[in-house]
């Protein structure tokens, strides 16, 4: 029995840290937010050279043929360093989503970093303006489910198939309660519309409407996206904790570092605890996806809830402990505070994932 | 790729444990903190030992199976999932025995280990004193050198299991001129010796789960000094990390409790409590996986130090919130005596014993995060 990262995965994380640590990622993120993609795209290319873009693409198509566990390692580091761009969509979701479809021809160029792809889980696509292709998912009321919780599933959808809730607001009632069904989805080309502003300025969102249909959605592609989002949240949380710990060691008030005060220590200890217990859930979700475990979708949801909660706690604590300087855009901490807020609700909200977990637990009894 | 897969031998071990427990598990017994319950729990320890399941990780010569850490966690999962009784011998098996193995003489191991495995000798811990709780190193109970041994004087309190146990272990100040962590010695003593008075204290649940112990010139032979004279602090702390980190509360307990919570939820699925039920399951699952990570780390030669405090914070908070959720689900019936109330009352003690959670947070902040010491 062994549970944890392999030496190769540790080495991969270190290589990513070396590259990203020296790359002025925060500068690239700020430029990205301002509409200047060039530093971010350069970073994209360098990460592609390290194999990040092709992690989930088979070797014969120019990718790495790596595992979901490797993917989680990469996304934790991307989250830690705050790399801007549609990483989840291009690297975690697109390979599986497009495999076996007429659009799979893009995969070799996706692996090499030449092509960037966005996928809209709901009504908006991230960074569609830099993407060669943008896809939208359309819901289709399909699979039946038993409404075992005895209560409205609060728009949860969720099913053994692992499809994330994809119901549009108007469809929620019909899909969730009255017909007792959950949606499955189709993959469509997207018609990109107006830009919308995210709470995280580095996330440039665009309205999309589904265009022509390409194929049915492989739900595992969406679970891979949720896994990557969870890992990114975990990494962002780790970064917020590291930066805050460094700050409280050097910030002096009342003649001593504020890190000496128990009120501060206890807040930060709680963040350490939350992150340390989210990490194994993220790793396990990856392993379950890799081994195609029947509970993989549930494991992914647990990872998303725990990583989101832990990262959010890290962001709230980081902000509080920094005080006013943390509440400024100028200070880089804001990049992670705002990203965490956005990612907590992305790739399925905590409520949706909790509903999916409960349904799976109840079903298995 | 690392996997969650178990070896054939580990699977066989799990099945053997499951089968034996299914055939022998007596289910919930009366509280071990009553005379009747203590006897029933000792009997259960005897049964466990007869199947060689009471101390699976110990060497065979002392009644164990030389089981790996992985197998221990597997056993604990099976143990708690089938609803087997709490362990009256826990103080001895998980607090004292690791120190006996690490610091005890051969004679001490011979004298005490086997009797610990089958409920013959039940041990009470005697750490706290009225003026030494979280600040354990300020303890005042003394040990004075006499012919052939020592005389113990002073008072211990909150001594778990003391009302129905046979022997105790604790720290005493053997060098009155030394301060705090220095000059302490680890002693083993007979709770029925001349000069020992045990005054049971009823806990919140109404049973005497702990006691005050008064020492009035209690004679202890030299052979009952564990580790070196004056080395008591070092000896006592040598396994503290491991205890908080691994052996104190195995994940099987919480997985089983989360499972019972789901049963309860299904009898009355109240939508507004859904998230809390799910979070209890996530918390137990996280603890299970975290523990496998720790086992992997330890089996590869690593050790658990201050990280053990992270563990203790998690399971104690999880246990409490899980039982609070159960009481919420029970609604007006939550105040009625029963297993949920019993387990809730027990969970209230988790953030206090084995070092309060405030002390644990200090340890995490200072020794894991590297924040400056001081500033209590």
Residues of chain B neighbouring A362 (CB-CB closer than 8 A): 262, 266
Contact B269 A260 (CB under 8 A): no
pLDDT at B303: 84
pLDDT of B376 above 80: no
Smallest CA–CA distance, residue A212 to chain B, in Å, is: 38
Q: What is the mean pLDDT of chain A?
A: 89
Active site residue B243: yes
User: Which of B187-191, B194-198, B355-359 shows the lowest mean pLDDT across its residues?
Assistant: B355-359
Longest dimension (CA), chain B: 70
pLDDT at A184: 75
Residue pLDDT, tens place only, B277-310? 999 999 999 999 999 999 999 888 888 888 889 9
Exposed (0-12), middle (13-18) or buried (19+): which is B263, by Cβ within 10 Å? exposed
Q: Across-strand partners of B186?
A: B171, B226
- Alpha-carbon span A132 to A41, nearest angstrom: 13
Beta-carbon contacts of A146 under 8 Å, excluding residues fewer than 6 positions away, are A180, A363
Q: Which of B77, B243, B285, B324 is flagged as catalytic?
A: B243
Contact B371 A268 (CB under 8 A): yes
pLDDT at B200: 97
Smallest CA–CA distance, residue B73 to chain A, in Å, is: 11
Contact A269 B365 (CB under 8 A): yes
Q: Across-strand partners of B153?
A: B142
pLDDT at B240: 63
| DSSP line for B142-169 | EEEEETTEEEEEEEE-S-TTGGG-SEEE
- Alpha-carbon span B129 to B140, nearest angstrom: 8
pLDDT of B237 above 90: no
Q: Which helix (H) or strand (E) element contains residue B289? A: helix B274-299
Average pLDDT, integer, range B186-201: 98
pLDDT of A58 above 70: yes
Q: A179: pLDDT confidence band, cut at 50, 70 and 90? A: very low
Average pLDDT, integer, range B118-133: 95
> Which of B281, B290, B362 is closest, CB to CB, to A280?
B290
C-beta of residue A285 within 8 angstroms of C-beta of residue A296: yes
Residue pLDDT, tens place only, B253-272? 999 999 999 999 999 999 99
pLDDT at B160: 93
Is some CB atom of chain A closer than 8 A to the CB atom of B297? Answer: yes
Contact A256 B375 (CB under 8 A): yes
Average pLDDT, integer, range A253-260: 96
C-beta of residue A127 within 8 angstroms of C-beta of residue A86: yes
pLDDT at A255: 94
């Amino acid at each position: 029995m062994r549970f944890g990262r392999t030496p190769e995965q540790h080495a991969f994380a270190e290589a990513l840290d070396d590259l990203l640590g020296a790359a002025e990622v925060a500068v690239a993120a700020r430029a990205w937010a301002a509409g200047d993609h060039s530093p971010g795209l350069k970073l994209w290319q360098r990460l592609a050279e390290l194999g990040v873009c092709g992690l989930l693409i088979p070797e014969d198509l120019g990718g790495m043929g790596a595992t979901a566990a490797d993917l989680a390692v990469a996304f934790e580091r991307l989250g830690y360093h705050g790399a801007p761009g549609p990483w989840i969509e291009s690297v975690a979701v697109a390979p599986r989503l497009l495999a076996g479809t007429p659009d799979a021809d893009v995969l070799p160029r996706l692996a090499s970093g030449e092509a960037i792809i966005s996928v809209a889980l709901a009504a908006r696509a991230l960074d569609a303006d830099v993407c060669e292709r943008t896809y939208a998912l359309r819901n289709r009321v399909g699979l039946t489910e038993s409404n075992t919780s005895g209560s409205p599933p609060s728009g949860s959808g969720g099913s053994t198939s692992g499809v994330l809730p994809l119901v549009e607001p108007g469809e929620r009632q019909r899909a969730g309660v009255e017909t007792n069904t959950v949606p499955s989805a189709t993959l469509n080309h997207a018609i990109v519309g107006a830009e919308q502003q995210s709470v995280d300025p580095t996330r440039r969102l665009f309205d999309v409407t589904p265009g022509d249909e390409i194929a049915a959605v492989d739900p595992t592609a969406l679970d891979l996206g949720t896994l990557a989002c969870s890992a990114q949240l975990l990494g962002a949380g780790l970064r917020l904790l590291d930066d805050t710990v460094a700050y409280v060691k050097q910030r002096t008030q009342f003649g001593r570092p504020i890190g000496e005060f128990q009120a501060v220590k206890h807040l930060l200890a709680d963040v350490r605890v939350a992150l340390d217990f989210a990490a194994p859930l993220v790793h396990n979700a990856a392993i379950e996806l890799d081994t195609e475990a029947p509970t993989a979708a549930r494991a992914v949801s647990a990872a998303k809830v725990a990583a989101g909660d832990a990262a959010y706690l890290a962001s709230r604590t980081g902000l509080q402990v920094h005080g006013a300087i943390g509440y400024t855009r100028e200070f880089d901490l804001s990049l992670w505070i705002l990203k965490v807020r956005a990612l907590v609700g992305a790739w399925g909200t905590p409520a949706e994932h909790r509903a999916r977990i409960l349904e799976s637990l109840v079903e298995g009894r | 790729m690392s996997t969650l897969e178990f070896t054939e031998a580990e699977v066989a071990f799990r099945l053997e444990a499951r089968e034996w427990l299914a055939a022998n598990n007596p289910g919930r017994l009366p509280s071990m903190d009553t005379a009747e319950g203590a006897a029933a729990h000792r009997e259960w320890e005897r049964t466990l030992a007869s199947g060689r399941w009471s101390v699976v990780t110990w060497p065979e010569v002392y009644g164990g199976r030389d089981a790996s850490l992985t197998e221990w966690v597997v056993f604990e999962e099976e143990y708690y999932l089938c609803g087997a009784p709490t362990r009256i011998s826990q103080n001895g098996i998980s607090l004292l025995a690791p120190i006996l193995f690490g610091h005890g003489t051969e004679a001490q191991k011979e004298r005490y280990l086997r009797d610990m495995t089958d409920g013959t000798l039940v041990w009470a811990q005697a750490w706290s004193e009225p003026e030494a709780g979280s600040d354990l190193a300020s303890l005042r109970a003394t040990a004075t050198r006499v012919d052939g041994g020592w005389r113990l004087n002073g008072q211990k309190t909150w001594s778990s299991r003391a009302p129905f146990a046979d022997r105790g272990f604790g720290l005493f100040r053997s060098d009155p001129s030394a301060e705090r962590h220095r000059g302490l010695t680890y002693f083993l003593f007979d709770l029925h010796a001349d000069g020992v008075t045990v005054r049971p204290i009823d806990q919140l649940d109404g049973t005497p789960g702990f006691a005050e112990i008064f020492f009035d010139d209690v004679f202890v032979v030299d052979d009952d000094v564990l580790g070196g004279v004056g080395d008591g602090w070092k000896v006592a702390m040598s396994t503290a990390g491991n205890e908080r980190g691994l052996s104190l509360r195995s994940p099987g307990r919480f997985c089983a409790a989360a499972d019972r919570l789901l049963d309860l939820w299904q009898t009355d699925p109240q939508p507004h409590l859904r998230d809390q039920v799910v979070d209890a399951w996530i918390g137990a699952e996280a603890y299970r996986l975290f523990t496998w990570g720790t086992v992997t780390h330890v089996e590869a030669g690593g050790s658990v130090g201050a990280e053990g405090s992270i563990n203790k914070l998690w399971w104690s908070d999880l246990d409490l919130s899980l039982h609070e959720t159960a009481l919420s689900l029970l609604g007006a019936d939550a105040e009625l005596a029963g297993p949920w109330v019993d387990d809730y009352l027990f969970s209230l003690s988790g953030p206090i014993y084995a070092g309060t959670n405030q002390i644990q947070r200090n340890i995490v902040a200072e020794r894991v995060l590297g924040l400056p010491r001081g500033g209590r």
